[in-house]
Amino acid sequence: MLPGNCLQLQRRHKKGPHYRSFSNNGFSIGDAILVDGQNQRAKTNEVTLNSTVAIVVEDIENYVLKDGKAFPGLDLVVTDDNDIVVLEGRDILANESGYSLEDASVLRGTITVGDPMKAGQTYHATMKVWDKLKAESQINVAVDIVVKE
């Protein structure tokens, strides 16, 4: 791909079974999945306390490039049933020099399920990915996480 160009591919998106909502504008992606601490596709949205889970978006394409680099942004926010933020990471991928297309093609928001999260509660995780060179290009994923002992 030449710097400054956008590759326009149409690929069917396969949304994972645990998502509350998913939206994609301007990107082409292969899949959005929930993975467990062993990096395996999660079978349920139940997560053990003191473990990790991640929202992963794969095969992201259509970044606007600058000097052959992509400039993705990623926000990850987890709230409880009362909309109180229990985990928040804003612009987690801040990097002035950008990322290779290979590195920017798979983005992951990892959640450590621990204090202040409690077993028996449901939490709402939202991950937003955007192209810093074309802000209207966004992927938004929301998933509920049920914490168990």
Q: Report pLDDT digits (tens) over 28-68.
A: 999 889 999 999 999 999 999 999 999 999 999 999 999 99
Closest CA to 81 of 13, 136, 144, 11: 144
Task: Please say if the pLDDT value at position 7 is more than 50.
Answer: no
In a domain, 46, yes or no: yes
In a domain, 41, yes or no: yes
> Under a CB-based contact definition with an 8 Å cutoff, are residues 67 and 5 in contact?
no
CATH number for the domain harbouring residue 124: 2.70.50.60
Cα of first residue to Cα of last residue in the chain, in angstroms, is 47
Q: Residue 101: which domain range?
A: 14-148
Query: Rounded CA gap, 146 and 73, in Å?
Result: 27
Closest CA to 36 of 19, 48, 24: 48
Q: What is the pLDDT of residues 72-100, one digit of tens each?
A: 999 999 999 999 999 999 999 997 899 99
Query: Rounded CA gap, 39 and 85, in Å?
Result: 25
Total tally of structural domains belonging to the chain: 1
- Token representation of residue 136: 């209207």
Query: Rounded CA gap, 109 and 26, in Å?
Result: 20
In a domain, 31, yes or no: yes
In a domain, 9, yes or no: no
pTM, two decimal places: 0.86
In a domain, 7, yes or no: no
